[in-house]
Amino acid sequence: VVVFLLFVFRGLGILAPASLAVEGVLYLGVLALLSRLGSFALTGASLVATALAAALSVGSTVLLLVRVREQAKSGKKPKAALSFGLSRGMKGAVLGEVATFAVALVLSFVLGGAARCFLLAFAAGMACDAVALVCFKAPALRLLWAGPAQKRPGFWGVPCAVHEGDRQGRSVEGGE
């Protein structure tokens, strides 16, 4: 997955594994707390939930990157592309995670056994991804986009039209 993301998004693709590392630390802490409280046990089902939560985390990162690149390709200046792309990407990702978290949490109180472990692990993963999205992914993307990505746009996967328009002091319109 990392190789694919690096191929598609170039340097910005490194955001996915970096955010997974940050989220993993949060996630292990939440699972340890739930285990300590007697609400969670490591089962095969909870391992499947962990893998699913990690996949959805990568999905939310890709959503952010795609939204920002779409805005950049539409001819907006880098700062505007980042702002519009992040606001649209964050809105979609956070709403999806909150809805998924809520359903998993409610069902975890209704169901028992392995299903409960699965749902609690999944809800914890969604909560950790939402925190990582707001506290790590978006700020890291802002820093990368504003700094290194503007200096070496080809390496970082920034559309050339954005870089050229910014360097000339004007935005490049749609197909020009």
| pLDDT given for residue 160 in this prediction | 58
Predicted confidence (pLDDT) per residue in 13-52, tens digit: 899 999 999 999 999 999 999 899 988 888 888 899 999 9
pLDDT digits (tens, 9 = 90+) for 50-75: 999 999 999 999 999 889 888 888 88
Confidence of residue 112 (pLDDT cuts 50, 70, 90): confident
Q: Average pLDDT over the chain, rounded to whole? A: 85
State the Cα–Cα distance between residues 137 and 130, nearest whole angstrom: 10
Q: Are 57 and 93 in contact (CB under 8 A)?
A: no
CA dist., res. 116 & res. 127, Å (int): 16
How many other C-beta atoms are found inside a 10 Å radius of the C-beta of residue 35? 14
- Count Cβ neighbours within 10 Å for each residue of 42-53 and write b for 16 or more, e otherwise: eeebbeebbebb
- Taking CA atoms, 137 is separated from 83, 107, 120, 149, 161, in Å, by 14, 28, 23, 15, 24
Nearest 5°: the CA angle 14, 27, 31 is: 160
Res 159: pLDDT: 72
User: What is the chain's alpha carbon radius of gyration, rounded to the nearest angstrom?
Assistant: 19
pLDDT band at 170 (very low <50, low <70, confident <90, very high): very low
